[in-house]
């Protein structure tokens, strides 16, 4: 067969091309304002033609979704996400946007203290730091969004952002983080991204199970994301961690409360990591409520109140509800429990002023601190 004939046979028939374009246009969803409209059956038919999403890291993460991993400070969430990233990087590129650790801190985690040997990550695992020179000249959240968009254009479709408290400084007010998440969803849909975002929870009652409401700014934020994994510290052993799904849109929860993934936090040779142990029940790792722990709680509340803290501040410090704190303080007063730590001393600057007739204390001055610093892991 001549070369010209081969070209003619392989050339696209213009009539067929037009017919194909018309067929595609007719089968596309109808525009209704900003909506794309078609029957439910057609949506299912179109979706069946798409490949099923891949599941990562023992099925805990799903391709094309936004997952938030959250815990209290120093619980190992960053280490956990590094391990997730490494598992993804065995087959595809993934970038970790590290907003908190310095390169030296990162290096120390993955270096043997005795031999100096370092852990070798897959070449597909990329790490990025925020350029400190740009922090005062641009909006941090938009700068991160622009960077994620640029990475997607370069073919990097898997992104981990550590930590949203840095990206959205007023996370506690929730509005900034909600707007950031909405824009992130737009990027996810535009580029087909898989996104993992690290977040935190304030100190909490260790006798209570981890819930969706433990995510800072959770009321609106939780509704926008596809999945959420909480990491808790076991009451049995301070080195034991457990991972629990509190939200999962893609079927049954891989790690529900009665089947949490258990890990031990340790450094193995040159790799600081969460070593998988087994699966267990969350209730076995919560602090047991008894007379001793109740007395410990009351003593802590009395000590904090003696330092001039309001019920709200004690709640933020301990994770207990204000009503619980008020009830235990009242019981402590009836039992004659007194502070075991020195009460706050008066200063000429009068940093605190009591509000007469209430248990509230108004804080007038606070020491300057970075609101996004999470004292991470």
Tell me the CATH number at 63: 3.40.50.300
| Structural domain includes residue 41 | no
Minimum mean pLDDT range among 21-25, 105-109, 327-331: 21-25
> Based on the domain organization, do 163 and 185 belong to the same domain?
yes
The model's pTM: 0.74
SS3 per residue for 69-84: EEECCCCCHHHHHHHH
Residue carrying the six token digits 């601190």: 369
Q: What is the pLDDT of residue 3?
A: 53
> Based on the domain organization, do 280 and 306 belong to the same domain?
no
Q: Identify the band that residue 316 occupies on the pLDDT scale cut at 50, 70 and 90.
A: confident
Which two three-digit tokens encode residue 121?
């990550």
| Structural domain includes residue 138 | yes
> Based on the domain organization, do 232 and 315 belong to the same domain?
no
| Structural domain includes residue 46 | no
pLDDT surpassing 50 at residue 314: yes
Q: Identify the band that residue 377 occupies on the pLDDT scale cut at 50, 70 and 90.
A: very low
DSSP code of 111? B
A 10 A CB-CB count for 59 gives 13
> What is the domain range of residue 298?
291-363
Q: Are 284 and 209 in contact (CB under 8 A)?
A: no
Report the chain's mean pLDDT, rounded to a whole number. Answer: 83
User: Could you say which of 285, 307, 331 is where a domain stops?
Assistant: 285
Q: What is the pLDDT of residue 171?
A: 47
pLDDT surpassing 60 at residue 359: no
Q: What is the pLDDT of residue 60?
A: 96
- pLDDT, mean of residues 201-209: 80
pLDDT surpassing 50 at residue 368: no
| Structural domain includes residue 370 | no
pLDDT surpassing 50 at residue 62: yes
Q: How far, in Å, CA of 257 to CA of 70, rounded?
A: 16
| Structural domain includes residue 2 | no
> Based on the domain organization, do 246 and 184 belong to the same domain?
yes
| Structural domain includes residue 250 | yes
A 10 A CB-CB count for 149 gives 15
Which two three-digit tokens encode residue 264?
């031990």
- How far CA 278 is from CA of 74, 125, 137, 254, 350, in Å, comes to 21, 27, 47, 13, 53
> Based on the domain organization, do 120 and 249 belong to the same domain?
yes
Residue carrying the six token digits 């007739």: 357
Number of domains in the chain: 2
Percent of the chain with pLDDT over 90: 48
CA dihedral (323, 324, 326, 328) in degrees, to 10, reads: 160
- C-alpha closest to that of 243 among 254, 252, 235: 254
| Structural domain includes residue 16 | no
> Based on the domain organization, do 332 and 256 belong to the same domain?
no
Q: Identify the band that residue 11 occupies on the pLDDT scale cut at 50, 70 and 90.
A: low
> Based on the domain organization, do 340 and 237 belong to the same domain?
no
Name the residue with higher pLDDT: 140 or 224: 224
Nearby residues of 112 by Cβ (< 8 Å), 6 or more positions away:
118, 269, 270
Percent of the chain with pLDDT over 70: 80
pLDDT surpassing 70 at residue 39: yes
> Based on the domain organization, do 277 and 341 belong to the same domain?
no
Looking at the DSSP assignment, which residues form a beta bridge with residue 352? 363
User: Could you say which of 285, 316, 336 is where a domain stops?
Assistant: 285
pLDDT surpassing 50 at residue 353: no
pLDDT surpassing 90 at residue 18: no
| Structural domain includes residue 219 | yes
- C-alpha closest to that of 230 among 129, 338, 348, 80: 80
Q: How far, in Å, CA of 290 to CA of 293, rounded?
A: 5
At residue 103, φ and ψ (nearest 5 deg) are: -60, -30
Which two three-digit tokens encode residue 138?
């641009």
Q: Identify the band that residue 275 occupies on the pLDDT scale cut at 50, 70 and 90.
A: very high
> Based on the domain organization, do 110 and 233 belong to the same domain?
yes
Name the residue with higher pLDDT: 324 or 40: 40
Q: How far, in Å, CA of 98 to CA of 100, rounded?
A: 6
Give 299-308 pLDDT, tens digit per residue.
Answer: 888 998 999 9
**Angle at which helices 291-306 and 322-335 pack, to 10 degrees?**
100
Q: What is the pLDDT of residue 355?
A: 38
Q: How far is CA 279 from the centre of its chain?
A: 21
Which two three-digit tokens encode residue 234?
């076991």
> Based on the domain organization, do 160 and 229 belong to the same domain?
yes
> Based on the domain organization, do 165 and 261 belong to the same domain?
yes
> Based on the domain organization, do 172 and 308 belong to the same domain?
no
Q: How far, in Å, CA of 118 to CA of 303, rounded?
A: 45
User: Could you say which of 250, 285, 320 is where a domain stops?
Assistant: 285
Q: How far, in Å, CA of 314 to CA of 304, rounded?
A: 7
Q: How far, in Å, CA of 297 to CA of 51, rounded?
A: 53
Q: What is the pLDDT of residue 78?
A: 94
Q: What is the pLDDT of residue 13?
A: 77
């Amino acid at each position: 067969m001549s070369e010209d004939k081969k070209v003619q046979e392989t050339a696209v028939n213009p009539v067929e091309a037009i017919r194909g374009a018309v067929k595609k246009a007719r089968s596309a969803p109808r525009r209704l304002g900003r909506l794309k409209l078609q029957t439910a059956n057609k949506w299912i038919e179109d979706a069946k033609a798409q490949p099923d999403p891949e599941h990562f890291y023992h099925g805990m993460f799903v391709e094309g979704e936004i997952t938030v991993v959250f815990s209290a400070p120093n619980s190992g969430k960053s280490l956990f996400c590094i391990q997730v990233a490494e598992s993804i990087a065995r087959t595809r590129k993934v970038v970790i946007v590290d907003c908190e650790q310095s390169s030296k801190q990162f290096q120390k985690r993955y270096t043997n203290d005795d031999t100096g040997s370092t852990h070798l990550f897959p070449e597909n695992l990329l790490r990025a730091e925020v350029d400190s020179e740009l922090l005062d000249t641009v909006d941090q959240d938009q700068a991160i969004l622009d960077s994620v968009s640029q990475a997607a254009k370069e073919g990097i479709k898997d992104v981990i952002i550590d930590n949203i408290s840095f990206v959205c400084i007023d996370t506690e007010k929730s509005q900034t983080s909600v707007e950031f998440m909405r824009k992130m969803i737009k990027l996810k849909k535009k580029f087909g991204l898989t996104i993992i975002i690290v977040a935190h929870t304030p100190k909490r009652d260790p006798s209570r199970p981890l819930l969706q409401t433990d995510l800072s700014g959770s009321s609106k934020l939780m509704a926008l994301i596809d999945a959420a994994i909480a990491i808790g510290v076991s009451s049995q052993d301070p080195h034991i961690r457990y991972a629990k799904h509190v939200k999962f849109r893609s079927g049954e929860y891989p790690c529900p409360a009665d089947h949490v993934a258990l890990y031990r936090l340790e450094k193995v040779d040159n790799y600081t990591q969460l070593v998988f142990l087994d699966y267990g029940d969350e209730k076995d790792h919560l602090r047991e409520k008894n007379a001793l722990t109740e007395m410990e709680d009351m003593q802590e509340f009395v000590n904090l109140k003696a330092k001039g803290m309001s019920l709200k501040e004690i709640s933020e410090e301990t994770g207990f509800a204000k009503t619980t704190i008020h009830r235990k303080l009242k019981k402590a007063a009836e039992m004659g429990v007194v502070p075991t730590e020195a009460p706050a001393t008066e200063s000429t600057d009068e940093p605190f002023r009591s509000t007469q007739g209430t248990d509230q204390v108004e804080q007038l001055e606070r020491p300057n601190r970075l609101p996004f610093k999470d004292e991470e892991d």
